Every structure is written in structure tokens, then in C-alpha cells.
């Protein structure tokens, strides 16, 4: 029996390979590799898709977040409220601009930052809220925007895992001052390399970001008004992304169907908590992440690692991959020791980081493979029950 990977991009390539190949060949023949009309037309298409006025493409999701913070003038002495349960890039950029990440705990149902916890962390130094639509599940943006308005804060959405997700009939990335997207190959809309974009309704923000992504260069070439970075989207990636954007809604629908199928097949399974889609949102399932709640103590399990490790090993023995996003919340990372957080500060994030297990999830995953994954998981769990 063949192995089931966490995701398999070769299956997608089998479907769109010819189209992508032709688009790349056209760029190669054009001799125009940086900037140009393909990047601009992709920016327009992506802005239309998210239903915002402006899109500025850049080199990665990390750069998108960095450029967003810079464009809002966030820097030393400023605080940004965000979640400790996300990919490191989210807070790395807050630190990179010289500001301080201020964490709040997360909600155990949505894996996203706990909105009820935000207001207690607002200080005179707070400049922005940075919600992350983790695993493709939209944050309640109605509430985030209400809190931001009441306290005159900016909102930067980290949409890296949620391209195409909706909150209350509007796409994520259209709610805050700025939306930040990643086109890393494993994201819902992935390039064949690095890529990213920011979206905004504000033409001034867009123009500042255009300047910052090009070394801070003014409208006059070789005159500089700011210290920027070099963060452009290659024409080859723009051409590939134009092809793939046409497939995105279909792929996201397939991800939703797979999530529904997991939900049906796995319910009810004792000690496994399944992810739930929020009532006013449509998620795009970048990950399908369950929580394993062991009734078996580590002492009973012996020294083969914790309960989750044992489950993973039993899945792997059956050729089934699984992933852990994320094993250590950011407030406990070595790099943030100086911020003074301690174990126990965010009990939900800390508990979930011990429990989460992401099952294979990609649009081309077959029903047979899903059956095998579910039988495999049930088998692993029952073999561990005393």
C-alpha cells in the first residue's frame, strides 16, 4: 500500500501542468522577469477576488506582514496584540520592525486568538491587533473590528493559511486595514516558489507598500524616501498564480468536502475533538486538525514518548503521515525569553499544542485514502486503550 503524504503537490501538477508550463514558457520567452504586466494583472485579479481596491504582490507572506507593519508606521515602543499559536513569521515581523508582540490566549474551539482576552491587554502603547486565520478558519472579524474601532487600533490580518475564506460574506483580507497573504507552495493558493501579497482598501497604504517593496524608491528612479527592502513577486510566479487562481474556488470546495467527510467518518470517536467551522464563516481547511485527549497516563505508556507521539508512530507504521502544528507556543520560544512570559500564562494554547494532530489534507486526497486514514487512526487509538 502506498504512503499517504500530508499533502501531494504532484497530483495538482498532473491536472494543471500543461497550462502552468505554457504560462512559464511565455514569461521565459518574453525576457521580462521582474515586474511588468503579468505581475500587475495578477495584482488586479487578486484584488478583485478578495474584493478590495488594492493588492500589492511581494516576495513572501513574511514580507507581506513586515511591509504591512512598516506601512502603518509601527516600530520601536509599539505593541501589537496577537496569538501565541501560529507560525513564527507572524510575530517574527513584529520583532523585526522593533515593536513588541503582546500575546493573548486562544479559543479552544477555533484555535484562533480569544477575542474576550484582547481588551485587557490594550495599553497606551498598543497600535494594532494582528489576528491569524489559523488552519483556514476565519476569525470573528466583526468583533475584532469593533474592538479596534473602540480603541482606535489598526488591524492587520494574517491570511497566510486562509486564502478564500469568508467571514460574514466577505473574504478575509478585506476586513482589516491590511490583509497579508502567502503563496508558499503548501498554502491554498501556492506558487512554485515563494510569493506573497497585501490587500487593502486604502490607496495610500498600497502606495507606501509599493515604495517599501522597492527599496523605498520614490517615483523618480534612484531617489529614496524611505529605507525599504527588495521584495518583488517574480513574473514567473505571477504567471503561475494567475493560472492557479482560476482553480482556487474549486480546490477550496474540495477541501471543504474532505473536511465534511472526515467529520462524518470520525464522529463520534472518544477522546478525539474534531475541528468546527464557525457559524458565520466559511473556512478553507488549509489543515484538518484534531485534538487527541489521552485518558492514558504517560506512565502507562512507558518511555515511547507521549500519547500523541505513540498515535503518530502507529499511523506512520500504516503509511499515514500526520503533522504537529505547532508543538511549542510562541510565548515559550527561546527567542522570546526576554519578553518574560512563563509556562501557564496561556493554558489553552499550551494544552492544545500538546494535543493537536493534523491529518492529511489536500484537494486531491481520495475517499479511499480518507477511509484508510480514519481506520488507521481508530486502530491506533484502540491499540493504545488499556
User: Which stretch in 12-20, 68-76, 157-165, 334-342 sits in contact with ligand PLP by CB under 6 A?
Assistant: 157-165
- With binding defined as CB under 6 A, does residue 82 bind ligand PLP? no
Among 59, 117, 62, which Cα is nearest to 84's? 117
Which of 187, 219, 244, 351 is labelled catalytic?
A: 187
Helices (H), 113-234: 141-151, 203-212
- With binding defined as CB under 6 A, does residue 89 bind ligand PLP? yes
Point out which residues pair with 170 in neighbouring strands. Answer: 167
Query: Least distance in Å: CB of 186 to ligand PLP?
Result: 8
Contacting ligand PLP within 268-297 (CB under 6 A): none
Among 358, 386, 184, which Cα is nearest to 288's? 358
Give the Cα separation of 237 and 10 in Å (integer). Answer: 17
User: Which stretch in 56-64, 109-117, 166-174, 219-227 sits in contact with ligand PLP by CB under 6 A?
Assistant: 56-64
- With binding defined as CB under 6 A, does residue 87 bind ligand PLP? yes
Run of H or E residues at 130: strand 126-130
Query: Least distance in Å: CB of 303 to ligand PLP?
Result: 33
Give the Cα separation of 184 and 189 in Å (integer). Answer: 8
Q: Is 219 a catalytic residue?
A: no
- With binding defined as CB under 6 A, does residue 90 bind ligand PLP? yes
If binding means CB under 6 A, how many residues of this protein chain bind ligand PLP?
15
Query: Least distance in Å: CB of 172 to ligand PLP?
Result: 12
Query: Least distance in Å: CB of 14 to ligand PLP?
Result: 24
Contacting ligand PLP within 170-189 (CB under 6 A): 182, 184
Give the Cα separation of 347 and 368 in Å (integer). Answer: 37
What residues contact residue 315 under an 8 Å CB cut-off, 6+ apart? 321, 322, 373, 376, 377, 380
Among 75, 6, 286, 331, which Cα is nearest to 172's? 286
- With binding defined as CB under 6 A, does residue 61 bind ligand PLP? yes
What residues contact residue 282 under an 8 Å CB cut-off, 6+ apart? 138, 165, 166, 256
Cα 74 to Cα 85, 99, 269, 335: the distances in Å are 22, 7, 46, 21
User: Which stretch in 18-26, 83-91, 117-125, 265-273 sits in contact with ligand PLP by CB under 6 A?
Assistant: 83-91
- With binding defined as CB under 6 A, does residue 85 bind ligand PLP? no
Give the Cα separation of 197 and 183 in Å (integer). Answer: 8
CB 150, CB 124: distance < 8 Å: no
Query: Least distance in Å: CB of 183 to ligand PLP?
Result: 7
The number of angstroms, rounded, from the C-alpha of 219 to the middle of its chain's C-alpha atoms is 33
Q: Cell numbers 500538546 label which residue?
A: 354
- With binding defined as CB under 6 A, does residue 158 bind ligand PLP? yes
CA angle, 231 then 233 then 238, to 5°: 170
Would you give the binding string for ligand PLP spanning residues 187-206, x where CB under 6 A is met?
-------x-x----------
- Give the three-state DSSP class for 234: strand
Q: Which is nearer to ligand PLP, 182 or 200 (CB)?
A: 182
Instruction: Please identify which residue in 82, 83, 86, 289 interacts with ligand PLP, judged by CB under 6 A.
Output: 86
Instruction: Please identify which residue in 39, 57, 130, 132 interacts with ligand PLP, judged by CB under 6 A.
Output: 132
Query: Least distance in Å: CB of 194 to ligand PLP?
Result: 6
Which residues of this chain interact with ligand PLP, rule CB under 6 A?
Answer: 60-62, 86-87, 89-90, 132, 158, 160-161, 182, 184, 194, 196
Residues annotated as catalytic (active site), given as ranges: 187
Amino acid at each position: 500500500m502506498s504512503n499517504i503524504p500530508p499533502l501531494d503537490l504532484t497530483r495538482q501538477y498532473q491536472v494543471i501542468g500543461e497550462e502552468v508550463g505554457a504560462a512559464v514558457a511565455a514569461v521565459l520567452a518574453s525576457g521580462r522577469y521582474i515586474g511588468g504586466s503579468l505581475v500587475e494583472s495578477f495584482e488586479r485579479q487578486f484584488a478583485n477576488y478578495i474584493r478590495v481596491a488594492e493588492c500589492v504582490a511581494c516576495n513572501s507572506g513574511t514580507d507581506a506582514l513586515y511591509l504591512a507593519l512598516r506601512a502603518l508606521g509601527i516600530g520601536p515602543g509599539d505593541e501589537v496584540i496577537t496569538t501565541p499559536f501560529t507560525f513564527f513569521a507572524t510575530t517574527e515581523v513584529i520583532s523585526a520592525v522593533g515593536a513588541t508582540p503582546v500575546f493573548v490566549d486562544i479559543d479552544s474551539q477555533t484555535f484562533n486568538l480569544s477575542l474576550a482576552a484582547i481588551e485587557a491587554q490594550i495599553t497606551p502603547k498598543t497600535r494594532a491587533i494582528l489576528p491569524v486565520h489559523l488552519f483556514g478558519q476565519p476569525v470573528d472579524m466583526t468583533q475584532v473590528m469593533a474592538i479596534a474601532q473602540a480603541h482606535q487600533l489598526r488591524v492587520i490580518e494574517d491570511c497566510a493559511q486562509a486564502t478564500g475564506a469568508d467571514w460574514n460574506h466577505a473574504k478575509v483580507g478585506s476586513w482589516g486595514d491590511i490583509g497579508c497573504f502567502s503563496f508558499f507552495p503548501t498554502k491554498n493558493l501556492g506558487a512554485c516558489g515563494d510569493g506573497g501579497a497585501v490587500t487593502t482598501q486604502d490607496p495610500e497604504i498600497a502606495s507606501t507598500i509599493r515604495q517599501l517593496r522597492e527599496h523605498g524608491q520614490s517615483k523618480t528612479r534612484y531617489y529614496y524616501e524611505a529605507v525599504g527592502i527588495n521584495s518583488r513577486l517574480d513574473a514567473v510566479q505571477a504567471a503561475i498564480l494567475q493560472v492557479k487562481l482560476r482553480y482556487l474556488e474549486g480546490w477550496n470546495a474540495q477541501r471543504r468536502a474532505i473536511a465534511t467527510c472526515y467529520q462524518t467518518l470520525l464522529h463520534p470517536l472518544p477522546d478525539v475533538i474534531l475541528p468546527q467551522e464557525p457559524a458565520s464563516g466559511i473556512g478553507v481547511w488549509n489543515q484538518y486538525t484534531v485534538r487527541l485527549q489521552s485518558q492514558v497516563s504517560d506512565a502507562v505508556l512507558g518511555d515511547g514518548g507521549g500519547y500523541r507521539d505513540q498515535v503518530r508512530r502507529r499511523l506512520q507504521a500504516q503509511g499515514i503521515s500526520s503533522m504537529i502544528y505547532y508543538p511549542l507556543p510562541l510565548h515559550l520560544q527561546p527567542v522570546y525569553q526576554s519578553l518574560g512570559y512563563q509556562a501557564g500564562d496561556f493554558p489553552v494554547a499550551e494544552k492544545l499544542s500538546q494535543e493537536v494532530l493534523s491529518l492529511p489534507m489536500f484537494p486531491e486526497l481520495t475517499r479511499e485514502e480518507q477511509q484508510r486514514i480514519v481506520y488507521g487512526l481508530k486502530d491506533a487509538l484502540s491499540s493504545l486503550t488499556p
